[in-house]
Structure formats: structure tokens, C-alpha cells
Amino acid sequence: MKKNIPNFITLLNLFFGCCAIASVLYGQFVQAFWFSLASGVADYLDGACARMLKVKSPLGQQLDSLADMVSFGVAPGAVVYMLLVKGLAGHDVLPIQLTLAASPAFLISLFAAIRLAIFNIDTRQTDNFIGMPTPSCAIYAIGLLLIYHFDSFGLGNIVTNPIFLYLNIPILCLLMVAGLPMFSLKFKNLAWEGNQIRFIFAAFAVVLLVFLREAAFPFIIIGHVLFSFIVHLKENKKLGIGN
């Protein structure tokens, strides 16, 4: 029973991910945000619970990847799909043409699958990541959805602009499978030593949330990528790489 507690939490991640996708497709965008948030919390807690209980199983690892594929792979694809539908609906297009025009959004889901498969076999990604993790992709997409729903700062029309979205799709796909090292946002302890970048980034995220509210989420993810890139450049400079 003890070893199945983390698996139950992982299944909650999957359940909330399914609910988020259904909410997106029915136009219940705020509800989709809360379900996605619940998925993210469950994704964090299953690992923390497994470490606390000192239980680990191959079944749990497989369930975790399958749940993440739905919650952080299919869900962001569905979000971008719906945003494209909203942006293209004003044009005189037939439903089948609309579906085809919005379908590239699910390239995000395909690359999320590749990302998760790489993660499962890459032994280097224990404390940090190589490439953007799938939850970050989901946060970015859900953030765009909130901007559209609340028309934050008048940006609603921009995030449904097909050109903007078509440019975002390959960027998100490539970031997930890129070789860029990215620091993990999970704190193993609250000590400053070893967590400096995490504390600085957490403060940056809080400031964005205070001033940008629901519009902050895409910028937080952009900041995560930029912070990671800067840290990577500094580490390479210390090692004398590229000189």
C-alpha cells in the first residue's frame, strides 16, 4: 500500500490533465487553468512523496511519463489548437479547413513525447534538465490562454494571431529537445548555497505575478529559458569553453 501512494498521486496528475483538456475544448479556460495547476502540483508531489517514503518502482516511472504526456504534452497542444481556431474563425473558412489549419498545434504534443522519451533514457537529467521540461511548455500555453480570456493589457488579439502562434509552435518544439541545460525549479532544501539561481528566479517570478497577474506565466517561462542560457554561458566561460 505504501509504495502505491506516489502512483495514486501520479494518477491524479493524469486525471486533472484529462479534465484540463476537456475544459479547453469546451471553452472553459479559467477552469482549464485550475486543472492544469492541479496537475502541476500532483506532478511535484508524487516525486516528493516517493522520496519521503523511500519507495521507487519501474511502474511509477512509467505512470509518471504517461501522465506527463497527457497533462503537459496533449494539453498545451489543445490550448494552442483552440487559440488558432479562435484566431482563424474570423476568416471565411470551412470547418474542415479550420481543423487542418489549426492542427499544427499538435506538433507540440509530438515533441513533448520525444522530450519525455529522451528524459527517460538520459542519465544526465537528475538534478537539472537538458531542454525545456514539458510542464514549462504547458505553463506557457496556459498563460497564453489566460491572456486571451482576460484580454490582459489588450494582448488578446495578439495571442490568437495565427502568425504569432505558428511562430511559437516550432520554438516550443525545438526548446523541448534542444541541448540547452536548464536549471530545475525544485528546491531540495532552503539553503542559499546551491540554490542561488532558484531564489533569484523565484523573486523574479513573484515580481512578474504581482505586476502582470495572469499575463505573467508566458514571461516567467521565457525568463526561465533566458536565465538558463545566461547561467550556461557563465559556466562555459569559467571552464574556458568558447575562448
Composition of the chain by helix, strand, coil, percent to 5: 80, 0, 20
| Selection from 164, 165, 149 nearest residue 27 by Cα | 149
Contact 5, 49 (CB under 8 A): yes
Rounded CA separation 80/172 (Å)? 11
Distance CA 143, CA 153 (A): 13
Domain tally, the chain? 1
pLDDT at 2: 77
Provide CB contacts within 8 A for 239, sequence distance 6+: none
For residue 126, the 8-state DSSP code is: S
pLDDT tens over the chain, length 243 residues: 778 899 999 999 999 999 999 999 999 999 999 999 999 999 999 988 888 888 888 888 899 999 999 999 999 999 999 999 999 987 666 678 888 999 999 999 999 999 999 988 887 776 788 999 999 999 999 999 999 999 999 999 999 999 999 999 999 999 999 989 998 887 777 788 878 888 999 999 999 999 999 999 999 999 999 999 998 888 777 666 554
- Full domain range(s) for residue 121: 2-239
CA–CA separation, 158 vs 239, rounded Å?
A: 42
DSSP structure string for 179-203: --EE-----SSS-STTTHHHHHHHH
**C-alpha distances in Å from residue 120, one per residue of 7, 33, 173, 206:** 17, 27, 18, 31
pTM: 0.92
Helix (H, G, I), strand (E, B) or coil at 129: strand
Q: What are phi and psi of 126, to 5 degrees?
A: -100, -50
The domain that contains 160 carries what CATH number? 1.20.120
